[in-house]
A and B are shown apart, each in its own frame.
Chain A
Amino acid sequence: MANEPRKQQSRGAKSARAPWREQAESYLNHHRKVARDSARRMWQSPVASMMTWAVMGVALALPVALMLLLASLEGVSAGWESSARVTAYLNDSVSIEEARELKAEVADDSRVADVELIDRETALEEFRASSGLEDALDYLNENPLPHTLLVTPSESSRTADGVEMLLTVIEGLDGVERVQVDLGWLQRLNAMTDLLGRAVWALALLLAAAVVLVIGNTVRLAIENRRDEILVAKLVGGTDAFVRRPFLYTGAWFGLGGGVVAWTLLQLSLWWLSGPVERLAGLYRSEFSLNGLTIDGALALIIVAMLLGWLGAWVAVKRHLDDIEPGEIAGG
């Protein structure tokens, strides 16, 4: 220690050195030391620590996995919404010439990207081919189907509101009998994802509470194991904050481990599922893909896990540490 030049200075002119700086320095040093010490203690009982991490990891991975799934589903419904097409059925009395005029009129609208006219004969052919009702259709004297306009909204109008507005405009045109947009199943999907979203949040809250309790219990045991040390620290004038600190760090480290385990579990299951999901999406000609956590997401997961660990430790410390008072040392 004598070879530290700084020490020689400070001994002579102790008051010259800003005391708050020295205080802050030793405060930070103590934090570093306690953080290191708590981590070292965790390594000393690796099996127990890893089990706690695993419990936390599973509890955290489950809601995060559901949230990822939900985000992917919302991506799908957004994709389909943009490709929504408006179908306008024209009056039976509208002739094919009038239908062509209507088509041109609709196409002029800036909100419309493309209009396709399906005349009644083509429609009947398609129907005959796809429905399997050929025989039944043969009994009909005349074609029951109207001319139809298939309207694709322009890029900017591909929102629920935009489509809705376009719908009213087309509905107001002369010769349009009925307008249909097949948003029903999309709305049902949205309603379902909304419901699922809430369920996931409720599950996440429950599991977060479970994590807090698990950490609380683990830290309670740690407190019991270090009872003597706590007593002596309180005896020689350790503040509550000083006594709590190692346990709060322990909780945060448990959180860190749990977060990393959760992330690993997520990456593994993603890797395991990605093949089948791609195949399934391919069968549905869907763009659907399972998205993993981004780097930001992984960081957020780990930070949340550490906060939960810290909170669990805090609950345990609050409940059990204050009970340990040195009064019992001195005996009767």
Chain B
Amino acid sequence: MIEFRQVTKRYDSDHTALRQVNFGLQRGELAFLTGHSGAGKSTLLKLIMVMERPSAGEVIVGGQVLNTLPRRQVPYIRRHIGVVFQNHQLLFDRTVFDNVAMPLEVMGTPARDIGRRVRAALDKVGLLSKEKMNPMQLSGGEQQRVGIARAVVNKPPVLLADEPTGNLDPELSADIMRLFADFSQVGVTVLIATHDIALINELGRRTLTLDHGRLVPGAGAAGGRHG
């Protein structure tokens, strides 16, 4: 589903964020992406989201080579990728429902389908009763779950998460990880950037480790094994 072939990302002449990264993730696979801060985790996620383009190598998502994708096409790729952020990026000028509905509105989903799918996504994260509230009224863990509902509301085949549990206590983190595991069960490819080692060890999934832009050879790096 996601494949990196010899991907290098250079920002300036002296700053190389990723060096010849190779890996592949299958459909329904859940993997962690770790590394010290500045190791290139965010850059790797940005390459998948087409927020950045690789300096060399190929990034392939869902069989589509992203390197040469025209700018006009970028939004259509993003519709197939759900993203969860550490700071969740919710909009406080609208309700929880409207926040979660955004990906569907962007796609031009008919209004009656929007209601059904938003409620299904909110139900999945256990926040169905709070759809009319403003995200500001919710706790940190709840806000993060709203972010997850928004990321999965249009059933994307790929789900990315950047430090999704960064601000949460261990119990809430475990809850959220369980949610991600559920999504991978139904065929979503999930890639979670985190440096919460305890959490990684607990789940025992495949782990990609970055060190100064290089993928550390080891159990997770080689390729398409299911986690």
Instruction: Point out residues on A near B: beta carbons under 8 Å.
Output: 1, 4, 7, 22-23, 25-27, 29-30, 228-229, 231-240, 242, 325-327, 329-332
Contact = CB atoms under 8 A, between A and B. Distances in A.
Contacts of A235: 49, 78, 83, 89
A329 B85 contact: yes
A236 B72 CA distance: 14
Nearest to A329: B89
Contact of A332 (B38, B91, B108, B115): B38
Interface size class of B (residues with CB under 8 A): 20 to 34
Given A1-B116, A29-B111, A327-B52, A237 B106 contact: yes
The DSSP consensus for interface residues of chain B is helix
B42 A332 contact: yes
Interface of B: 37-38, 42, 45-46, 49, 51-52, 72, 75-79, 83, 85, 89, 91, 93, 102-103, 105-112, 115-116, 150, 162
Contact of A231 (B89, B105, B150): B89
B205 to A, nearest CB: 22
Given A228-B89, A228-B91, A326-B51, A236 B78 contact: yes
A31 to B, nearest CB: 11
B95 to A, nearest CB: 14
A229 B93 contact: yes
A22 B89 contact: no
Q: Which 8 A-B pairs have the closest CB atoms?
A: A237-B79, A237-B78, A236-B103, A327-B51, A238-B106, A237-B75, A239-B75, A26-B108
Contacts of B108: 23, 26-27, 30
B91 A325 contact: no
A326 B109 contact: no
A233 B150 CA distance: 12
A121 to B, nearest CB: 91
B220 to A, nearest CB: 22
B110 A26 contact: yes
Contact of A22 (B91, B93, B110, B162): B110
A325 to B, nearest CB: 7
Contacts of A27: 108
Given A238-B75, A326-B49, 4 more contacts: A26-B109, A233-B102, A235-B49, A332-B37
Nearest to B71: A240
Nearest to A229: B91
A332 to B, nearest CB: 6
21 contacts: A1-B112, A7-B112, A26-B108, A26-B109, A27-B108, A29-B110, A30-B108, A228-B91, A229-B93, A233-B106, A236-B78, A236-B150, A237-B103, A238-B106, A239-B106, A242-B106, A326-B51, A327-B52, A329-B89, A331-B162, A332-B37
Nearest to B77: A237
Contacts of A238: 75, 106
Contacts of A7: 112
Contacts of B38: 332
Contacts of B162: 330-331
A330 B106 contact: no
A212 to B, nearest CB: 26
Nearest to A325: B51
A332 B46 CA distance: 10
B105 A30 contact: yes
Nearest to B115: A1
**Chain B CB within 10 Å, residue with most, of A4, A26, A231, A325:** A26
Contact of B45 (A231, A233, A236, A330): A330
A234 B75 contact: yes
A332 B116 CA distance: 36
B91 A232 contact: yes
**Chain A CB within 10 Å, residue with most, of B78, B79, B106, B111:** B106
B212 to A, nearest CB: 14
Contacts of B46: 327, 330
A237 B85 contact: no
Nearest to A231: B89
A291 B102 CA distance: 51
Contact of A237 (B93, B107, B116): B107
Nearest to B153: A236
Contacts of A326: 49, 51
A26 B45 CA distance: 32
B106 A236 contact: yes
A331 B51 contact: no
Contact of B89 (A1, A30, A232): A232
B78 A330 contact: no
Contacts of A240: 72, 75
B85 A330 contact: yes
Nearest to A14: B113
